[in-house]
Amino acid sequence: MYSKSEKYYDDLYASLGKNYSKEAEKAHKLIQRHKRSKGKLLLDVACGTGAHAGPLSKYYKVEGLDLDSKMLSIARKKYPKIRFHQEDMTDFDIGRQFDVIVCLFSSIGYVRTKSRLRKAIKSMNHHLFPGGVLLVEPWFSSKQWKVGHNHMVTVNRLDLKITRISRGLRRGNISILEFHYLFGTPKGIEHFTEIHELGLFTQKEYMDAFKAAGLSVIHDAKGLDGRGLYIGRKPIK
């Protein structure tokens, strides 16, 4: 997914004003409202560079999980006290359960298909204690996705200049993000591209995936930053 841009990921989203700490605070309040288990073990699925895992560790004993080894390398350097696992979110088994599992910043879209969405939610549910809570922040739906939309992000520091332009495309129920990066550092200027493919799921498809896994689910239309949020609770046996 991320071929060369991992080391600049945090810089790009900082330039957009993304406030991970504020989002973690909102997530914590929602967790406390819905969680019925007594512990404080939290797993951040598709954790990337650990930008949510770090702030959440203020309240929970956090572990992270991601498929991208380079992202995990950054996360481990930033948060050496947090344990990180390299696993696929659609089919992982790390041998223990958690009171809270989160999958944020629309990372769930990378499962791409409805069958893999169900597998991912099932795998997360497998790792939840009874009474535990699962928070999933969705990607765009097919109605929300705009083909041909262009978006630009810039970073302007003395030692680093970045321009990233993205273009939205579509193939069936797969959204395609074509990223073009232009980097300027004291070592020179570099250009490269990345292609990201994410599934476009309806609200019903998300909720059906939760229910199929045995979770009760509600949809918070606003969520942490306007993208919405699915909140699943595992029944207490």
How far the first Cα of the chain sits from its last, in Å, is: 39
Cα(61)–Cα(79) distance, integer angstroms: 12
What does the pLDDT read at residue 2?
A: 62
Indicate yes or no: pTM above 0.95: yes
Mean pLDDT of 171-192: 96
CATH architecture of the domain formed by 150-199 = Single Sheet (2.20)
Helix (H) or strand (E) holding 131: strand 128-136
Residues 6+ apart with CB under 8 A from 120: 45, 89, 90, 103, 108, 111, 209
- Give the strands of the sheet with 161-171, arranged side by side: 150-156, 161-171, 174-185, 188-199
% of the chain residues with pLDDT over 70: 99
pLDDT digits 0-9 by tens, 32-86: 999 999 999 999 999 999 999 999 999 999 999 999 999 999 999 999 999 999 9
Whether 166 shows a pLDDT value over 90: the answer reads: yes
Cα(138)–Cα(103) distance, integer angstroms: 9
Residues 6+ apart with CB under 8 A from 138: 106, 108, 109, 201, 206, 227, 228, 229, 230
pLDDT digits 0-9 by tens, 81-110: 999 999 999 999 999 999 999 999 999 999
Q: Domain 6-141+201-233: which topology?
A: Rossmann fold (3.40.50)
Whether 237 shows a pLDDT value over 90: the answer reads: no
Every domain range in the chain assigned CATH 2.20.130.10: 150-199
The residue count of the chain comes to 237
Mean pLDDT of 193-217: 98
Residues 6+ apart with CB under 8 A from 77: none
Cα(50)–Cα(44) distance, integer angstroms: 8
Q: Considering the chain, what is the average pLDDT of its residues?
A: 96
